[in-house]
Chains A and B, each alone.
Chain A
């Protein structure tokens, strides 16, 4: 187990190295120099040159790469130290081009804004899809199963942004409910009222954002459950005379709930990519929107850092879910 994890970590390091090169080159070699965007046109030529020197405008790409990742890991270690309470003063080296903020602390802050949205979304997806998927598998070809299947197909085919647009317009115009942004604007709330307000503002986008995911996972769970129910050992259990509940909930459910574990792998990276559209619609000042805007202002540091961290989180998620899968399912052996 330990040697497996070490081997996987080494592999991860190699993959991340390649990813770091790829992501940096994609952004840094794109036409129209990304460094040019941060130069103030009003300044004198000499001042612009000094500013260019400060960001290494004329450096060769390799040196830019080394400087960037040197600063990046320096800042990253400081962020990690701060997160664990090591509150030393750190001079942030990586500052965004347009807003001149330190990149990594801002990213951390934005991540904390997005985190509740992603967590609640995932929670809603799981709590909806597992019971429904299992139910639909157990009552195969019944009216309810057909209805669920049709609904799931429709939800998968719906463009997520469209359905959320319609719902937001319905909620705000017809029901006069505030749903946009993480909290009600212009009102000072305290204590439990703040809590309920925040909960409401997280719940609405989370429920809307979870519809597509829930539909996909429902079908997946159903398929998994059906496959398990076809297995010989279920037939044996039935033949043995066990009652239906024991067979279904004790013997079939455990292997059928494995997608639950594999889904974990997607949770971490979905912090980054999963929420761009919903953050745009619900005006959440979250991570996805931040990076989306950074891409269009050619903010090299933000884009490359988030590509790198997103990839790292994906790899970590896959590793964790593989380990958990081997714990949950004894048939899976780590090798």
Chain B
């Protein structure tokens, strides 16, 4: 520390001076700026080029304020997507055989796509991945390493550790489907957590608790909003019923399996011969009758759940029809506003087309065919534009849309108002049937005769529900007839439904009047005891019909709702699309977890100062141990297989690849940030700040972070290189990038087959990767030398 004689200079300026003296690093920095420019411009200037009809459609959409998904980029200078089979395998610098005036500066690939365009488009993806993956890993690394380094020596109190462990156990319990235990434990851990939050409050640390409450409210609000949208829209409502069908069917399967195993045991012991020589059912243990009855009851219950689901589907269609009508009318009003605009454009195009036709005939009169054809094309374009913006056609469109909308709305309205009472009745009947099923299943005792009574009751419920169903069907038919236009009304009849209702009522009456002995053979199927094989067969049928179908249904319908175009136009659906995204969930979860950790830490700090609570805070494991053991575990798992296993779960998408690379590469940063902070916190200036009573937060932000940032920068720079390499390796192995995303690794891997015929397909992306990785490595080395002059010359 010899100061005084030397002129003091700022360390940053020193570092910059050293950095600029290092020529390779400066060149690398310039290269990186060029690459970044390439990446940013790539997203604007590459894409599918629009053709003339696309342009007209874009113009119309722009005028009307619609969103169109043509998959084209109107500003595209280069097209990496369109294939051109006449231009396959053109070496770099050659001209297109198809389009005159087009040069493939870097050649074309096996589908005739421009390599330069693909490289340009790929740079956006490859570099974004590099930066974002490193961003994730650096963020995780700094925060975990910082915690381990700065708070490492303090020991975690027992309540904090218990809360953390409980939270993990809750997760495992729910994953293992121990729901009751999971809920109990989560209540326990929530209680513990709230207790600590209160301790933090008594210590005067209200800021973090408030932040935590806000984050919590946001998260819960998001979840509530999502489920609200899902259950309050006609599209979303049936989902819950599908899920209920799936759950009940799954329960039934488990029951069938366990029961089947018991029956099998019985059969193995030779006691399950169902019928003796005379054809009479032999004596069977009580549980077998009971189990069989339960299964019959549950099977019927599932059937009625399916009916309920179908009802909701049917009702949804009516609701959607009504809304569609309203939307169509709105659309008609919206379209009608643009009539003048359409007229102007149409007339302008017409005059243009006439002029062009004139020129065309002049040109063909002169005998210049080529020119005439050009004019004819232009004129055709102008005519197409004139036709698109034809005000008369628009008028017709408006009228037909409005008429259709009115009809739909009226029909939907009529049906819905006619059905509002029947559906309530039907729903109530179905729900009552469900309740009675449950009761019947619980009441059964295992005595064959009592089982008989249960079955009889079951049949009664079914018949009642059948009447409700027939009533509902009749009501629907009548409502539909009422909603029809007059012309069709005469032809429509509801006799079939009326007949069905009469039959159902009659059947119920005969069943109610009949004596039990009469019923036994005709109306109620006697309970047959199924063998274990038959039980397995039944299980297969249930799974095929119910579990698979309704499980898939819930999944696809949720995604259908998520991406439904019908939902355009209302603000809350736009919000729904954002909040339903898995990234939104991920971000909120990470936020919640980190804020919760802060609250726990504050609670502990508050408790240590407070003599009332301090005796509960038994020190357990040190923070350093906790974080570093976790880091070690993550380091232990072979990264490449971890990445592969995670990627195999999701659909191919580079942004998921990016997240996975980021989440599996933070361990190194954590370790050295920890080491850095550990050595920094012993330095005099930190001790001085502590002695002054500066808060931990301020010490971290004003003293530790600026000093520890340079090695982080270095490692981030080298990390970007690593992430670009990792992405290209994954794309090379055929994972990572989706089918319509072109990344450098993917271009290389596609060119691999043609390495002998078209070597540029592998050389060009390879060199691009090489330059990028080299630049980032050199920049990292340059930064390291600049910030740490001791290392120069290595």
Q: Are A and B physically bound partners? A: yes
A residues neighboring B (CB under 8 Å): 15, 18-19, 21-23, 25-27, 29-32, 44-50, 53, 58, 60-62, 140-141, 153-154, 156-162, 165-166, 169, 173, 222-223, 226, 269, 272-273, 276-277, 280, 291-292, 295-296, 298, 303, 306-307, 310-311, 314-315
Partner of A22, one of B253, B254, B637: B637
- Please determine whether A277 and B648 come into contact, CB atoms closer than 8 angstroms: no
Partner of B645, one of A18, A140, A307, A315: A307
Bound state CA distance, A156 and B769, in angstroms? Answer: 12
Name the residue in B177, B537, B648 with the highest tally of chain A Cβ atoms < 10 Å from its Cβ. B648
Name the residue in B543, B544, B633, B769 with the highest tally of chain A Cβ atoms < 10 Å from its Cβ. B633
Which residues of B from 688 to 725 have beta carbons under 8 Å from A?
Answer: 721, 725
B520-534: CB near A (< 8 Å → 1, else 0) gives 000000000000010
CB distance from B500 to the nearest CB of A (A): 32
Which residues of B from 535 to 551 have beta carbons under 8 Å from A?
Answer: 536-537, 539-541, 543-544
The chain B residue with its CB closest to the CB of A274 is B640
Bound state CA distance, A60 and B773, in angstroms? Answer: 46
CB distance from B262 to the nearest CB of A (A): 14
Bound state CA distance, A269 and B636, in angstroms? Answer: 9
- Please determine whether A223 and B794 come into contact, CB atoms closer than 8 angstroms: yes
Contacts A272-B638, A272-B641 given; indicate if A166 touches B769 (C-beta within 8 A): no
Bound state CA distance, A47 and B536, in angstroms? Answer: 8
B621 near A: Cβ within 8 Å?
no
CB distance from A56 to the nearest CB of B (A): 11
The chain A residue with its CB closest to the CB of B773 is A157
- Please determine whether B257 and A153 come into contact, CB atoms closer than 8 angstroms: no
Bound state CA distance, A30 and B646, in angstroms? Answer: 8
- Please determine whether B638 and A49 come into contact, CB atoms closer than 8 angstroms: no
In the complex, 21 of the A-B residue pairs with CB atoms within 8 angstroms, ordered by the A residue number, are: A15-B633, A23-B637, A26-B646, A29-B175, A45-B540, A48-B540, A53-B257, A158-B770, A159-B728, A161-B729, A162-B769, A162-B770, A226-B794, A273-B638, A277-B729, A277-B732, A291-B644, A292-B644, A298-B648, A307-B642, A307-B645
- Please determine whether B793 and A173 come into contact, CB atoms closer than 8 angstroms: no
B575 near A: Cβ within 8 Å?
no
- Please determine whether B639 and A273 come into contact, CB atoms closer than 8 angstroms: yes
Bound state CA distance, A292 and B728, in angstroms? Answer: 16
B747-777: CB near A (< 8 Å → 1, else 0) gives 0100010011000001000100110011001
Contacts A45-B540, A166-B762 given; indicate if A159 touches B645 (C-beta within 8 A): no
B321-338: CB near A (< 8 Å → 1, else 0) gives 000000000000000000
Instruction: Tell me the count of chain B residues lying within 8 A, CB to CB, of chain A.
Output: 53
Name the residue in A21, A30, A161 with the highest tally of chain B Cβ atoms < 10 Å from its Cβ. A161
Collect the chain B residues with CB atoms within 8 Å of residue A30's CB: 645, 648-649
Collect the chain A residues with CB atoms within 8 Å of residue B175's CB: 25, 29, 61
- Please determine whether B762 and A154 come into contact, CB atoms closer than 8 angstroms: no
B509 near A: Cβ within 8 Å?
no
B62 near A: Cβ within 8 Å?
no
Contacts A15-B636, A159-B770, A269-B638 given; indicate if A46 touches B733 (C-beta within 8 A): no
B85 near A: Cβ within 8 Å?
no
CB distance from B251 to the nearest CB of A (A): 11
- Please determine whether B637 and A19 come into contact, CB atoms closer than 8 angstroms: yes
- The total of interchain contacts (Cβ-Cβ below 8 angstroms) comes to 146
- Please determine whether B646 and A45 come into contact, CB atoms closer than 8 angstroms: no
Collect the chain A residues with CB atoms within 8 Å of residue B732's CB: 159, 161, 277
- Please determine whether B257 and A58 come into contact, CB atoms closer than 8 angstroms: yes
The chain A residue with its CB closest to the CB of B765 is A162
Bound state CA distance, A26 and B638, in angstroms? Answer: 13
Partner of B629, one of A15, A165, A173, A311: A15
CB distance from B382 to the nearest CB of A (A): 50
Collect the chain A residues with CB atoms within 8 Å of residue B172's CB: 21
B residues neighboring A (CB under 8 Å): 172, 175-178, 253-254, 257, 533, 536-537, 539-541, 543-544, 629, 632-633, 635-642, 644-646, 648-649, 721, 725, 728-729, 732-733, 745, 748, 752, 755-756, 762, 766, 769-770, 773-774, 777-778, 793-794
Bound state CA distance, A22 and B633, in angstroms? Answer: 10
- Please determine whether B540 and A44 come into contact, CB atoms closer than 8 angstroms: yes
The chain A residue with its CB closest to the CB of B728 is A159
Collect the chain A residues with CB atoms within 8 Å of residue B648's CB: 30, 295-296, 298
Bound state CA distance, A49 and B264, in angstroms? Answer: 15
- Please determine whether A273 and B641 come into contact, CB atoms closer than 8 angstroms: yes
- Please determine whether A58 and B254 come into contact, CB atoms closer than 8 angstroms: yes
Contacts A45-B537, A277-B732, A280-B733 given; indicate if A157 touches B762 (C-beta within 8 A): no
Bound state CA distance, A251 and B127, in angstroms? Answer: 45
Collect the chain A residues with CB atoms within 8 Å of residue B733's CB: 276-277, 280, 292
Contacts A26-B645, A159-B729, A165-B762 given; indicate if A46 touches B176 (C-beta within 8 A): no
Bound state CA distance, A44 and B544, in angstroms? Answer: 11
- Please determine whether B645 and A60 come into contact, CB atoms closer than 8 angstroms: no
Bound state CA distance, A169 and B758, in angstroms? Answer: 12
CB distance from A170 to the nearest CB of B (A): 10
Bound state CA distance, A185 and B273, in angstroms? Answer: 61
Collect the chain A residues with CB atoms within 8 Å of residue B644's CB: 291-292, 295
Collect the chain A residues with CB atoms within 8 Å of residue B793's CB: 140-141, 226
Contacts A46-B536, A307-B641 given; indicate if A222 touches B254 (C-beta within 8 A): no
Bound state CA distance, A223 and B725, in angstroms? Answer: 24
- Please determine whether B632 and A15 come into contact, CB atoms closer than 8 angstroms: yes
- Please determine whether B756 and A173 come into contact, CB atoms closer than 8 angstroms: yes
Contacts A26-B645, A154-B774, A307-B645 given; indicate if A19 touches B633 (C-beta within 8 A): yes
Bound state CA distance, A47 and B543, in angstroms? Answer: 12
CB distance from A214 to the nearest CB of B (A): 16
Collect the chain B residues with CB atoms within 8 Å of residue A62's CB: 176, 178
Collect the chain A residues with CB atoms within 8 Å of residue B257's CB: 53, 58
Bound state CA distance, A156 and B774, in angstroms? Answer: 8
Name the residue in B635, B639, B645, B649 with the highest tally of chain A Cβ atoms < 10 Å from its Cβ. B645
Bound state CA distance, A128 and B642, in angstroms? Answer: 31
CB distance from B637 to the nearest CB of A (A): 5
If A157-B770, A296-B648 are given as contacts, then 13 extra A-B residue pairs at C-beta distance below 8 Å, sorted by A number, are: A26-B642, A46-B536, A58-B257, A62-B176, A157-B777, A159-B748, A162-B766, A165-B755, A165-B762, A166-B755, A226-B793, A307-B637, A315-B636
Partner of A153, one of B178, B540, B774: B774
CB distance from B748 to the nearest CB of A (A): 6
- Please determine whether A310 and B638 come into contact, CB atoms closer than 8 angstroms: yes
Collect the chain A residues with CB atoms within 8 Å of residue B541's CB: 45
CB distance from B256 to the nearest CB of A (A): 9
The chain A residue with its CB closest to the CB of B756 is A173
- Please determine whether A60 and B766 come into contact, CB atoms closer than 8 angstroms: no
Contacts A18-B633, A226-B793 given; indicate if A165 touches B649 (C-beta within 8 A): no
Partner of B176, one of A19, A61, A173, A307: A61
- Please determine whether B755 and A222 come into contact, CB atoms closer than 8 angstroms: no
Collect the chain B residues with CB atoms within 8 Å of residue A60's CB: 176-178
Bound state CA distance, A311 and B641, in angstroms? Answer: 11
Collect the chain A residues with CB atoms within 8 Å of residue B748's CB: 159, 161-162
- Please determine whether A49 and B774 come into contact, CB atoms closer than 8 angstroms: no
Bound state CA distance, A166 and B637, in angstroms? Answer: 32
Collect the chain B residues with CB atoms within 8 Å of residue A277's CB: 729, 732-733
Bound state CA distance, A226 and B790, in angstroms? Answer: 11
- Please determine whether B638 and A159 come into contact, CB atoms closer than 8 angstroms: no
Bound state CA distance, A22 and B630, in angstroms? Answer: 12
The chain B residue with its CB closest to the CB of A292 is B644
Partner of B537, one of A46, A173, A296, A306: A46
CB distance from B412 to the nearest CB of A (A): 36
Collect the chain B residues with CB atoms within 8 Å of residue A49's CB: 536, 539-540, 543
- Complex A-B, nearest 5 residue pairs according to Cβ-Cβ distance, in ascending order: A45-B540, A157-B774, A310-B638, A30-B649, A157-B773
Partner of A159, one of B533, B755, B769: B769
Bound state CA distance, A295 and B533, in angstroms? Answer: 35
Bound state CA distance, A169 and B649, in angstroms? Answer: 34
Bound state CA distance, A295 and B257, in angstroms? Answer: 30
Partner of A314, one of B636, B640, B649, B773: B636
Collect the chain B residues with CB atoms within 8 Å of residue A29's CB: 175
